Amino acid sequence: MLAARNSGLVADMESMLHITTLHYLVLGAALFLLGVIGVLTRRNVVIVLMSIELILNAVNLNLVAFSRLWGGVHGQVFAIFVITDAAAEAAVGLGILIAFFRNKETVNIDEVNLLKW
């Protein structure tokens, strides 16, 4: 019984020490969740935009991990496209932030309520 449990533990340790694609996926999921929590709970627009960058990076990590798994470079190419999108999004988002700050003198996202019903 104990030996069986021990061997199970050893197998667990070995699976912990052998880094598979699943490890990268779990890391990406954790990073994604951190980004989601940041987007949903923070009030500072700058930090909300940074949380979106965290989310995009989690996606990139998944793409590159799958690219490694399947032995091609297509996932890496898509990661480059995602980085391009992140650059475009950051430029426009920060431009909107500057326009917003100029009008309202604040970076609090709760005060972006012009379209609120």
Partner 1 sequence: MAPVATPFFFYLLSAIMLIGGIAVITRKNPVHSALALIVTLLAQASIYLMLYAPFVAGVQIILYAGGIMVLFLFVIMLVSIDRSMKERQFNSQWVVGMIAATALGGLFIAVYTKGTSIFPDHALAVVEDNNTQEVAKVLYGQYMFAFEIASLLLLVAIIGAVVMAKKKI
Radius of gyration of the chain (CA): 21
Among 5, 11, 85, 112, binds partner 1 (CB under 8 A): 85
15 binds partner 1 (CB under 8 A): no
Number of residues that bind partner 1 (CB under 8 A): 75
CB of 114 to partner 1, least distance (A): 14
DSSP string, 27-40: HHHHHHHHHHHHHH
Among 4, 7, 67, 112, binds partner 1 (CB under 8 A): 67
77 binds partner 1 (CB under 8 A): yes
CB of 57 to partner 1, least distance (A): 6
Among 16, 113, 114, 116, binds partner 1 (CB under 8 A): 16
Helix (H, G, I), strand (E, B) or coil at 80: helix
Q: Do residues 64 and 79 make contact, with C-beta atoms less than 8 angstroms apart?
A: yes
Among 9, 10, 11, 99, binds partner 1 (CB under 8 A): 99
Separation between Cα atoms, residue 96 and residue 89, nearest integer Å:
10
Residue in 84, 87, 67, 89 with CA at minimum distance from that of residue 76 = 67
87 binds partner 1 (CB under 8 A): yes
